[in-house]
């Protein structure tokens, strides 16, 4: 209950504070690429229920036949302003609306596409669906700092499920096992610090502090050899 009250309060304040920035970004999206301002993604949330997650649109509506559900490094669908919005995570802030609606929390496991959940979540990963997904988490931060390098551009979905997804899921399992309000505060501070570092030009980052514990939890997702990749991730 306390976490929910904090989520609502902080999300409401954050929306008020950043609304001018979101308004400018919305104008930029309209000028950069024809189509809607918001992107709506159908993802899996708490207890396996589907919900619509909101983001600022960063891709062209016309995908020219490229329809991977995973965004590749230097993905041709992403327009120039969209790439910058993604880099500084400004595209994620409409998820504050999801937090106010009760779909998400500020801190929680990263929500995932239904196809990925159905095909690649093992029994141990189902514990991630027993809590509300979040705007940030150890797995989300790892994706932010290492995702492009691990996914690449040649076959993004295969690289994602083999190289990134198992590590990300393990990191979020660590979060679920440790979850507390104080840990949430630490993760929010780390998220802000990483975004500031990226804005200031940093491009290389070390592992998340939870990585040592996460390595013990990594298991290959269905049909992959992911466990062999965590040592070099």
Q: pLDDT tens for residues 165-193?
A: 999 999 999 999 999 999 999 999 999 99
For residue 232, the model assigns a pLDDT of 29
| Model pLDDT for residues 89-118, shown as the tens digit of each residue | 999 999 999 999 999 999 999 999 999 999
Q: What is the number of structural domains in the chain? A: 1
Predicted confidence band of residue 222 (pLDDT cuts 50, 70, 90): low
- The answer to whether position 8 is within a domain reads yes
Would residue 71 count as lying in a domain?
yes
What pLDDT, in 10s, does the model give residues 47-65? 999 999 999 999 999 876 6
The contacts of residue 163 (CB under 8 Å, 6+ apart) are 150, 151, 226, 229, 233
CA distance 156 to 3: 35
Q: How confident is the model at residue 224 (pLDDT cuts 50, 70, 90)?
A: very low
In the structure, what pLDDT confidence band is assigned to residue 230 with cuts at 50, 70 and 90?
Answer: very low
Dist. CA 166–CA 162, nearest whole Å:
7
Query: How far is C-alpha 216 from the geometric centre of its chain's CA atoms?
Result: 22
Q: What is the domain extent for residue 171?
A: 2-228
Q: Is residue 233 part of a domain?
A: no
E-assigned strands of the chain?
38-44, 50-56, 105-107, 112-113, 134-136
Contact 152, 73 (CB under 8 A): yes
Which tens digit of pLDDT belongs to each residue from 113-163? 999 999 999 999 999 999 999 999 999 999 999 998 898 777 888 899 999
Model confidence at 226, in pLDDT bands (50, 70, 90)? very low
pLDDT at 70 over 90: no
**In a domain? residue 186:** yes
pTM, full prediction: 0.89
């Amino acid at each position: 209950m306390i976490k929910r009250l904090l989520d609502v309060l902080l999300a409401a304040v954050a929306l008020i504070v950043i609304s001018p920035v979101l308004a400018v970004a919305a104008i930029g999206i309209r000028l950069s690429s024809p189509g809607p301002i918001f992107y709506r993604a159908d993802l899996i949330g708490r207890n396996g229920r589907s919900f619509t997650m909101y983001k600022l649109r960063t891709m062209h509506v016309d995908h020219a036949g490229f329809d991977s559900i995973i965004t590749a490094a230097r993905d041709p669908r992403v327009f120039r302003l969209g790439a910058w919005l993604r880099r500084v995570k400004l595209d994620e802030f409409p998820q504050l609306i999801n937090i106010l609606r009760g779909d998400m929390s500020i801190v929680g496991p990263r929500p995932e596409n239904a196809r990925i959940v159905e095909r690649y979540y093992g029994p141990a990963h189902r514990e991630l669906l027993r809590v509300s997904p979040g705007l940030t988490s150890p797995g989300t931060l790892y994706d932010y700092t290492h995702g492009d390098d691990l996914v690449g551009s040649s076959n993004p979905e295969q690289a994602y499920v083999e190289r990134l997804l198992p590590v990300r899921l393990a990191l979020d399992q660590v979060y679920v096992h440790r979850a507390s309000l104080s840990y949430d505060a630490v993760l929010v501070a780390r998220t802000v610090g990483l975004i500031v570092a990226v804005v200031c030009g940093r491009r290389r980052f070390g592992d998340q502090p939870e990585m040592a514990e996460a390595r013990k939890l990594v298991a290959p997702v269905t049909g992959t050899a992911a466990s062999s990749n965590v040592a070099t991730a």
